[in-house]
């Protein structure tokens, strides 16, 4: 299911541009490189989605988070993602140093990424196109 949802979201952001695979999680969309992640919906918390940010993420031009289905996604410039990654208080994966963990709330279109509930709005990135 996630592969189909990723492909649908990629076609949605492409706005008519050609989409081609650059590996497992990266795609060329027109002249840009997009790193894409999919998170399934949880029945216990249907508006909450977990994603991680790793060095591979930061080598793209855009980050695409697909939340449950291609009907709900966020397309963000990597400069926005780098700001989260570089924050010294961003949650780090306990088992994988260098990987940062974030939580997306699709009800409020926010991402929480650091202790104390630090986060940012994702409203301008909802259903964005390249």
Question: Is 95 domain-assigned?
Answer: yes
Question: Is 93 domain-assigned?
Answer: yes
Question: Is 130 domain-assigned?
Answer: no
- For residue 39, CA distances in Å to 65, 85, 107 come to 8, 19, 15
Spatial distance between the Cα atoms of 105 and 48, rounded to a whole number of angstroms: 5
Q: Indicate the DSSP class of residue 91.
A: -
Question: Which contiguous run of DSSP H or E holds residue 88?
Answer: none
Query: The tokens 């410039």 sit on which residue?
Result: 77
Q: List residues bridging with 51 in a β-sheet.
A: 102
Q: Are 19 and 57 in contact (CB under 8 A)?
A: no
pLDDT in tens, the chain (130 residues): 589 999 999 999 999 999 999 998 999 999 999 999 999 988 888 899 999 999 999 999 999 999 999 999 999 999 999 999 999 999 999 999 999 999 999 999 999 999 889 999 999 999 999 9
Question: Is 118 domain-assigned?
Answer: yes
Question: Is 111 domain-assigned?
Answer: yes
Domain that holds residue 32: 2-125
> What is the reported pTM?
0.94
Spatial distance between the Cα atoms of 114 and 96, rounded to a whole number of angstroms: 17
Question: Is 121 domain-assigned?
Answer: yes
Question: Is 80 domain-assigned?
Answer: yes
CATH number of the domain enclosing 106 = 3.40.1350
Sheet with 62-67: strands ordered across = 19-21, 26-29, 32-39, 62-67, 73-77
In total, how many domains does the chain have? 1
């Amino acid at each position: 299911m996630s592969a189909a949802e990723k492909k649908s979201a990629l076609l949605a952001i492409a706005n008519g541009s050609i989409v081609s695979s650059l590996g497992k999680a990266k795609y060329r969309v027109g002249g840009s490189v997009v790193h894409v992640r999919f998170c399934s919906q949880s029945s216990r918390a249907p508006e909450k989605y977990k994603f991680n940010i790793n060095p591979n993420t930061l080598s793209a031009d855009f980050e695409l988070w697909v939340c449950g289905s291609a009907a709900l996604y966020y397309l963000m410039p990597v400069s926005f993602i780098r700001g989260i990654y570089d924050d010294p208080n961003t949650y780090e994966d306990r088992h994988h140093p260098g990987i940062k963990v974030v939580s997306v709330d699709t009800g409020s279109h926010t991402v929480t990424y650091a202790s104390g509930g630090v986060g940012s709005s994702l409203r301008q990135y909802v259903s964005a196109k390249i």
